[in-house]
Structure 1
């Protein structure tokens, strides 16, 4: 059987250790062994700070995620949606224009194009200085 030795601690520290030991381990010896092993195997000092806590890491990650979301939304608004709209406009087909079914309308339009309007003829007469056509 292992022998015990007495170590002197302040009352407050001893009470804190006893509460910690009862909640996590079977005995005080096992608790102290595990704590010492942790520091020994991880090669850290109990006086060192291990870096940011879980809360600060979580806050930092949330900020970065929000920044990524903002970047993606900006890309959607400025790049993806206009590009998709341009591609859709390229692939949309317009209905062919319907040809007029009545031939008389076409003949009337052709006659108007061949004959000069009345205003032009009178303008030519004035330029030439003669009343002849």
Structure 2
């Protein structure tokens, strides 16, 4: 069995540690060992701040993601769709308009239908 050693703590600190230890661990030794391992393996000092809490980081991240989505939607509306429409219109093919064939007059069909008739004047006859 491992031997124990006494360490002096202030009463308030010892009470806080005991409350913490009972909440998360089976023994005070396991709690202290786990905390020391955490600081050793993560190479951080217990005196330094780890930054904002997870909720605030998540909220900021969601705001930035929404901003990026808004930017992408704006780019799509102002640049991508109009450009795609222009390119589409360039590649759309229409049937070429049929121009009338130019035919010499001697081969052209003569229109035998008279448009105007000569007026007959009964007085002169």
Structure 1 length normalisation: TM-score?
0.58
Q: Distance in 1 between matches of 2:66 and 2:49?
A: 28
Aligned residues: CA RMSD: 2.9
Most deviating of 53-62 and 29-38: 53-62
Runs of 4+ in 1 over 4 A off after TM superposition: 91-98
Most deviating of 7-16 and 66-75: 7-16
Q: Distance in 2 between matches of 1:97 and 1:41?
A: 79
Q: 1:57 maps to which residue?
A: 57
1:90 is aligned to 2:90: yes
Q: Per residue, is there more helix in 1 or in 2?
A: 1
Count of residue pairs the alignment pairs up: 101
Show structure 2 runs of 5+ residues with no match: 99-110, 116-125
Structure 2 length normalisation: TM-score?
0.61
Show structure 1 runs of 5+ residues with no match: 99-106, 112-133
Is the alpha carbon distance of 1:87 and 1:15 closer, same or farther for their aligned partners in structure 2, counting shifts above 3 Å?
same
